[in-house]
Structure 1
Amino acid sequence: MKFKKSLASSKGLTLVEVLVSLTILGIVLMGTMKFFSQAYTYTNMNEKKTAAVNVARNALMHIEKENFIEVREKFQKESEFLKIYICKNSEGKSIYKNFWNGESPESDCSPIKVNNIEYNVTISLPDEKNSDTKPAKGEYSSFFVPLKATVIWEINGKEESTEIEGEIKSEDLR
């Protein structure tokens, strides 16, 4: 009954009550806004990492389209790694171009760019950490070449990277 009377009275709220309620509301809203800020940062980083993984997959697909025997020989005998850039061809179209073992890219070449972020792609043979679970080197040479694509990009002055492993197979098996 007392509660009904206080609601029905025309006194209203005091300034102290209004300030206390605004303070409580502000604290709750600040906590909520912090959550959304962290969620945005996390989502933004995951978006860039997803783009980097897709760039790495595209790079491996590009290498798979190259002549298998030439790629196999270059990796196993001559070069340790290759970098992939986007270059303009004679018709003005953008194409992937390989630069082996530190060759300098041409002036019209640039790193792969997605959403205004430059992704530097390096393809190499994978580390032999798990040598007991991988076939011997001679077993790869006939039909498979294992590769590792490493993608490096920079966000707010901090370098990020991701890598994926795959293998290319001989045209004889395709």
Structure 2
Amino acid sequence: MINSYLRPCTYIAADWDSDSNAVQIIQKWNTDYRKSMSFKDAHDLVQARDNSLNCSIKASLSSRLDESHKFILIVGNNTKTVRSGSCQYCGSLNSYKHYCVRGHSTDYRSYIDFECEKAVRNGLQIVVLYNSGLIDKGKCPDIVKWKGTHKEMWSWSEYQWVWDYNKITTAIGE
């Protein structure tokens, strides 16, 4: 396991189009002085601009992962199938000859696949949180499907589904 003093951050990955609510609730609890959750969020480090090339964004993600000892993946309905970040969606790809017109290497992995593979390669502690009341490993990217801790984020309370702070905090281990 990586020494958390050398790599002080916790990295959160998710399909930002579908599961940003789950990321936001964890970040909100992390900054709430009344909650016991406390970690240094890797997303507070340098960020790429939204209009950056996919390869520039992946370089930014890579540097944040390099500063992290823990990788939290939030799995929702689209996590395994989302393709955002693939070079095939970049305007700099010559789709006829399959090369980057800006001279970068091509990478057809999504941001999520890239992040998961880098987390495994770096030996980060892996926590997979399901944005639901069930653990459905069929929705989880294959590379982390059988790694780390897997936990659902929701519990049934009285007559409704609610975020389960205790389950999430226990899974994150902070």
Q: TM-score, normalised by structure 2?
A: 0.22
Tell me which protein shows more strand as a share of its residues.
Answer: 1
Q: TM-score, normalised by structure 1?
A: 0.22
Identify the structure with bigger relative contact order (alpha carbons < 8 Å, sequence gap 6+): 2
Q: Whose Rg is larger?
A: 1
Tell me which protein shows more helix as a share of its residues.
Answer: 1
